[in-house]
Amino acid sequence: MYTLNSTKAYHTDQLNTLGWELTVCNALHPEGTPLRKTLIRDNSFGNLLYDHLSRHVPMEKIARVVEVGGGYGYLMKDFLERNSTLEPCMLDLSPFLLRKQKETLRGYNVSYREEDLLETGRAFLSEFDLAVLNENLGDFPTLVNLNSNLFQSPSDITDPILRSALHFFTTYDLEKPEGDFNLNIGALQVLEKLCTAGIPYIYAGEHSCEAAVPEALRSFVCIESTGNPARISLKGHDEYTIKFSHLESVARAFHYRVVRGPFADFIAFSLSEKLRNILLTLGRTSDEAEMVCQFIEDLFRYEYMIIIKDIIA
């Protein structure tokens, strides 16, 4: 029997710090962090992402941007410092994090919306040129412990949640797993909504269940990927890793182009002698080495997707 994992109550009523789930964005925020010293360009997440987006998105022509789940607001502050013509809207479920975003973005022309993206109207979203979702797709509902029996007699299924799962497999021709599996139903609903709203540029980054390390780095970085969304237990809630290939299929069905890869594509590090030693000893030599090792692994565990509908001339 399946269950539906939700983080809504946690984000609405309990969350009072992101310290327990250090995001890559927050990890790179402090200027003096040893993590930045491993990078080819010592810079913040927002600046590195802005530069990468600029390779695929005409950032100088972007005005209205919606950032969903902006955490402490650091990413958007970097974006505004690079491009003062942006008109951001910060949409978040967490009243605590919206307050943090208001503090970080004080003095900038930003609007705020306390809302579950799953309940946001398409008409509102259709106003935006760019949507940014960093490290939050795994927070949206996940169907846990589904079984491939689901596909045997689809017309007999009456449960609306299972019918919604089937909708994604049939409408977007998703590859059907065998045996037991988990489905990122919330992330699929979110992407379908953003695509239906016709937002021309969408960026999403999250912990992937399909992550891979390039051959040349496999003796230094070792990560496991099963292809099935996996549970990550965090303070007060569970999240699930994201099956990006499913999201890619939805985006392509809406005639978007897809650029996809590991965070290491835009957070490039230098494989110095010191870093090689840290990775080969799995960061066991000191607390700092452990933090660096974990960070470099995360640059491959996390994937991003930029989806593009070239309508801004």
21 contacts ligand SAM (rule: CB under 6 A): yes
Contacting ligand SAM within 39-58 (CB under 6 A) = none
The long-range contacts involving 28-35, CB below 8 angstroms and separated by at least 24 positions, are: 28/267, 29/72, 29/74, 34/288, 34/291, 34/292, 35/291, 35/292, 35/295
> Does 194 engage in binding with ligand SAM (CB under 6 A)?
no
Residue 41 and residue 266 in contact, taking contact as beta carbons nearer than 8 Å:
no
- Would you count residue 229 as binding ligand SAM (CB under 6 A)? no
Total site size for ligand SAM, rule CB under 6 A: 24
- DSSP conformation letters of 272-309: -HHHHHHHHTTTTT-HHHHHHHHHHHHHHHEEEEEEE-
Residue from 71, 229, 262, 283 that binds ligand SAM (CB under 6 A)? 71
Indicate which single residue of 53, 68, 188, 307 sits in contact with ligand SAM (rule: CB under 6 A).
Answer: 68
153: closest CA among 162, 141, 144, 140?
Answer: 162
Helices (H), 32-117: 34-37, 45-54, 74-82, 95-104
Q: Which two tokens stand for residue 42?
A: 């010592």
| Nearer CB in complex with ligand SAM: 75/251 | 75
Residue 303 in contact with ligand SAM, rule: CB under 6 A: no
Residue 162 C-beta: closest distance to ligand SAM, Å: 21
Position among 37, 51, 82, 116 found at the interface with ligand SAM (CB under 6 A)? 116
Answer yes or no whether residue 26 interacts with ligand SAM by CB under 6 A: yes
φ, ψ of residue 265 in degrees (nearest 5)? -60, -35
Looking at residue 265, the DSSP 8-state letter turns out to be: G
| Site for ligand SAM contains 100 (CB under 6 A) | no
Q: Is 97 in the site for ligand SAM (CB under 6 A)?
A: yes
Contact between 142 and ligand SAM per CB under 6 A: no
**Positions in the binding site for ligand SAM (CB under 6 A):** 7, 11, 18, 21, 23, 25-26, 68-71, 91-94, 97, 116-118, 134-136, 139-140
